[in-house]
Amino acid sequence: MSNNQAFSGTIERRAFVKELISLCPEALVIGGLGSSTYDMFAAGDRDQNFYLWGAMGGAAAIGLGLALAQPNKSVVVITGDGEQLMGMGALATINAQQPKNLTIVVLDNGHFGETGMQHSHSSLGTDLTAVSKACGIAHSFKVKEASEVKTIQEHVLARAGVAFAQVYVKADDLPRALPSRNGVHIKNRFRQTLGLAPL
C-alpha cells in the first residue's frame, strides 16, 4: 500500500450532481453503475435520465452512441472512477469521434464505494485527467471546488467539443437512493422524451 496517494476530495457529491443537473435541465444524462446513479436519482428523477444497474465500464460508450444520434442535444455521462477505469479505452474511442455534445463527468472518490471502499487506481497513482488528455480529449480538467460546476455547465451548454471533468468528491458512504431497476421502463421513457416509439 506504499503507493497510496493522499486523496483529498472535499466536494459533496449529492449536492454537486443536483446542482449540475439543475444548471443543465435539458441535458440527456447517463448514470454509471453504483453511487453515480444514486446521486442522479437523489437529485430528482427525470425521464431524460438513463440509470445503469450493470454494464460496468459502459457508461461513456453509451454516452457516445447517444451523442452521435442526437447531435443537437447535450449529453452528460455521470459516473465514478471505478466505472470509468473499467472503460478507459472508451476515452480513446470517443476522442476519435469528437462528438461536440458529449461531456463526461467522473465523480472521483478514489475508491470502489459499492464494494467496501477499496482503493481504486485513481488513489494509487493513476491520473484520470491525464489519461483523458493523453487520449486526445483537449478539454480535460480537474474540479476541486464545488463552485467549478459552472465550468462543466459551460461545456455542456456550449456543445463545442468533448469535455472530461474529474470531480474530486469526498470518499463518504451515503444512504442509497435507488431508481427503478426495470431497464425496459427506463429505456422506453427516455426514448419517449425524444419522440421515439417504445421499443
Nearer to another protein, 118 or 180 (CB): 180
Phi/psi region, residue 98 (left: phi>0; alpha: psi -120 to 50; beta: rest), is left
Separation CA 75–CA 173 (nearest Å): 27
> Contacts with another protein in 91-120 (CB under 8 A)?
92-93, 96-97
Select the span of 89-97, 104-112, 113-121, 138-146 touching another protein (CB under 8 A). 89-97
The answer to whether 178 contacts another protein (rule: CB under 8 A) is no
Select the span of 34-42, 109-117, 120-128, 184-192 touching another protein (CB under 8 A). 184-192
The single residue among 3, 25, 54, 147 that binds another protein, judged by CB under 8 A, is: 54
Site size for another protein, by CB under 8 A?
Answer: 38
Phi/psi region, residue 56 (left: phi>0; alpha: psi -120 to 50; beta: rest), is beta
Q: How far is the CB of 81 from another protein (least distance, A)?
A: 18
The single residue among 87, 110, 113, 179 that binds another protein, judged by CB under 8 A, is: 87
